[in-house]
Structure 1
Amino acid sequence: MEKKITIQELLFNRGLKKEDKIVLLRHKDNRKTKIIRGVAYNESLYDIYRDNPKLFLEYQAEQAEDKFKGVEYIVSFLGEEGTKSRFLGVYRIVETITNDSFSPFYYKMIEVKGFKYLKERVIIDWGKGTLSWCQGIHNEKEIIEITPGFADAFPGYPNVILKFNRLKEIINEGYPEWKRMLSAVNCIYAILDNKTGKIYVGSTYNRQGIWGRWEVYVKTNGHGNNVSLKEMVESDPKYADNFIFSILHILPINISAEEAIKEEELFKKKLGAISFGFCNN
């Protein structure tokens, strides 16, 4: 039987020592609201990391308990589907601050050099103990995949919340994992106008799945041939930059148009998309 390659092997080959005090962290926070340095954020950890990496590191640095007592190095991962975890980097703790204005424990960290070309690319299997988000270095984690980079990571259907510019990037670049997952199912989806707060609710019901429908939005500069959205986009070609796409409910790939539209109508009623949104019927 061929020996598996572990993250430990990679870390030690890149300069960390077995005698160093190291912990592995898997960040997977499903809370709707996250308080970071006293400010509330409703974005997913995925979006926080992609849009504001410094804020993500502040999130990592704050702890309610002295979780990193005696620890020298933190190896950080972002939890993805199932037990998959994406390597984000290695950080050295340089100072522990207790009872600052925002948290009982705040750990000042600096990123360790030497892992640039592995960062965001290496995927490990965290194993069954996903609730155990902080583990010692002795817990071996198998490397199961090397990806082109973080841009190709699919966060799971419930966590798909995409600004239009990000959706364009995914569709135009044809990120394989995104295309595979979005082509496998249909859905009820929402488009939020971040400028007005209005919402559009739609459904997909084709053999190309979500990917096939959302590709139309990209090709039409954001309106997808929807009458209300089209008026705004045609009056201001950059207006779709205000749009945020999300998945509300998954539907089978073989669902009929009639069944999908019936589900769509239910979500329109729940969200008031006809009375207060962009839906005309």
Structure 2
Amino acid sequence: MRATDKLKKLSAVNGNPAGAVLTPCNSRNAVLLAAMANITPSFIDSPLTLNSLLIASGIALEEVLVLRHRPSEASLNRVFNWIAEERPDLFDCYQSTHGPRVEAALNRAKFVASFIRHEAGTALFVGLCRVAGTRTIGRDECILRPAHIELIQLGMSGVFASSARKHVVEFDLAQTPWNEKWHGRLIIKWPGLERSWYRWADRNVFPIQAIAQENLLRAPVPPWDRITLDWSELAVLPESWRAVLSQWRGIYLIIDRSDGRQYVGSAYGVANILQRWLEYARTGHGGNSQLRQRAPANFSFSILQRVSPDLDAEKVIEIEGTWKRRLRSLSPSGLNDN
């Protein structure tokens, strides 16, 4: 079998790799990488690259623009992995409009290889998109897109790169199935400067550094006493987090960062803490009269105490009362009415 044919077979693999992180440059791991495709590893006589995988799939390198997203806004960057994994609508919106330079490049591209920053000098694969079409939209229409509004709430600061522009091109980037099983697992080395976040595939070489055993976009749930979430983050909680929070019954704390005042609540319903926090995500106040008068964007959520999943509601409320007294969260010093 020719090397290009073997690469084609490798690029078509749908199975999960068996083993830890795989590094093609290492001879032992090169054997494991080849085993993923059920082929002999003899052709791996040089580091495997994103370029070679694209060529093996019949994709011309001059048609591929490679993007390495890393939001400059700290709050958006904090949840960007979640967005890439759980909210494709928001991720698509984020990469659908750009400043003049990237816009001009995308107008020449047929494919977009989407990555996000992993570590310094590396990028993590999200997916390969086909440029399916474009449309020109005005500033107001761009701002009023529902996904755009949600991204603003998550911390995105810009409308588009130049505030002087009255119109912007919106790109329809259709996700392809190309190596979709490596979504969140394929790590490449990023050539050149960190700040240069878009590059043409035919002008740069992107060595494959590793293939992770698990999807790195799926953030593990931290211990309950280390969870601190902003209000805007509640709407984009990963499914793994939602599953755990739906099982946790207990006492939670809301802090208004604008003045430090606190609200203590309890959760013991069907979906426990998740149910209560999603209600805050939806309404901003959860039915509390004092929270209604405040900006939910300033709220921070954490868990004060977990209790037994079958503890009676009366006992949970009793424990909630002890926390209200200890933290002095009752009005007028705090935000609890009673």
TM-score range, shorter chain: 0.5 to 0.7
Would you say how many aligned residue pairs link Structure 1 and Structure 2?
Answer: 196
Structure having the higher Rg: 2
Match of 2:205 among 140, 158, 162: 140
The question of 1:6 aligning with 2:49 is answered yes
2:94 counterpart residue number: 59
Tell me the SS of whatever aligns to 1:48.
helix
Structure 2 alignment gaps of length 5 or more: 1-24, 26-44, 143-166, 235-243, 254-261, 279-299, 303-326
Check conservation: 2:51, 2:206, Cα contact below 8 A.
yes
Structure with the higher strand share, 1 or 2? 1
Check conservation: 2:121, 2:194, Cα contact below 8 A.
yes
User: What are the residue-to-residue correspondences of 1:216-227 with 2, within 5 Å?
Assistant: 221=248, 223=250
Mapped to 2, the partners of 1:5 and 1:55 lie a distance apart of: 31
Mapped to 2, the partners of 1:128 and 1:224 lie a distance apart of: 49
One-letter amino acid of the structure 2 residue matched with residue 45 of structure 1: F
Match of 2:171 among 94, 107, 111: 107
Check conservation: 1:223, 1:230, Cα contact below 8 A.
no
* Distance change >3 Å, CA 74–CA 273, structure 1 → 2: farther
Tell me the SS of whatever aligns to 1:50.
helix
- 1:7-48: per-residue Cα shift (whole Å, max 9, x none)? 111122123124x421110011031577xxxxxxx9732222
Structure with the higher helix share, 1 or 2? 2
2:83 counterpart residue number: 48
C-alpha deviation, 1:129, in angstroms: 1.5
One-letter amino acid of the structure 1 residue matched with residue 174 of structure 2: I
Check conservation: 2:251, 2:266, Cα contact below 8 A.
no
Mapped to 1, the partners of 2:52 and 2:179 lie a distance apart of: 13
* Distance change >3 Å, CA 17–CA 46, structure 1 → 2: same
Tell me the SS of whatever aligns to 1:9.
helix
2:228 counterpart residue number: 191
Tell me the SS of whatever aligns to 2:228.
strand
C-alpha deviation, 1:231, in angstroms: 7.6
The question of 1:118 aligning with 2:177 is answered no
* Distance change >3 Å, CA 190–CA 94, structure 1 → 2: closer
C-alpha deviation, 1:273, in angstroms: 10
Check conservation: 2:135, 2:170, Cα contact below 8 A.
yes
TM-score (norm 1): 0.55
Mapped to 2, the partners of 1:82 and 1:93 lie a distance apart of: 28
Match of 1:232 among 252, 263, 266: 266
Mapped to 2, the partners of 1:45 and 1:193 lie a distance apart of: 14
One-letter amino acid of the structure 1 residue matched with residue 88 of structure 2: P
User: What are the residue-to-residue correspondences of 1:9-28 with 2, within 5 Å?
Assistant: 9-18=52-61, 20-28=62-70
Mapped to 1, the partners of 2:328 and 2:204 lie a distance apart of: 49
Check conservation: 1:193, 1:243, Cα contact below 8 A.
no
The percentage of aligned residue pairs carrying the same residue is 18
Check conservation: 1:191, 1:243, Cα contact below 8 A.
no
One-letter amino acid of the structure 2 residue matched with residue 24 of structure 1: V
* Distance change >3 Å, CA 55–CA 239, structure 1 → 2: same
Structure with more contact order per residue of length (Cα contacts < 8 Å, sep ≥ 6)? 2
Match of 2:121 among 57, 73, 83: 83
C-alpha deviation, 1:63, in angstroms: 1.3
Mapped to 2, the partners of 1:273 and 1:84 lie a distance apart of: 48
* Distance change >3 Å, CA 48–CA 277, structure 1 → 2: farther
Check conservation: 1:189, 1:246, Cα contact below 8 A.
no
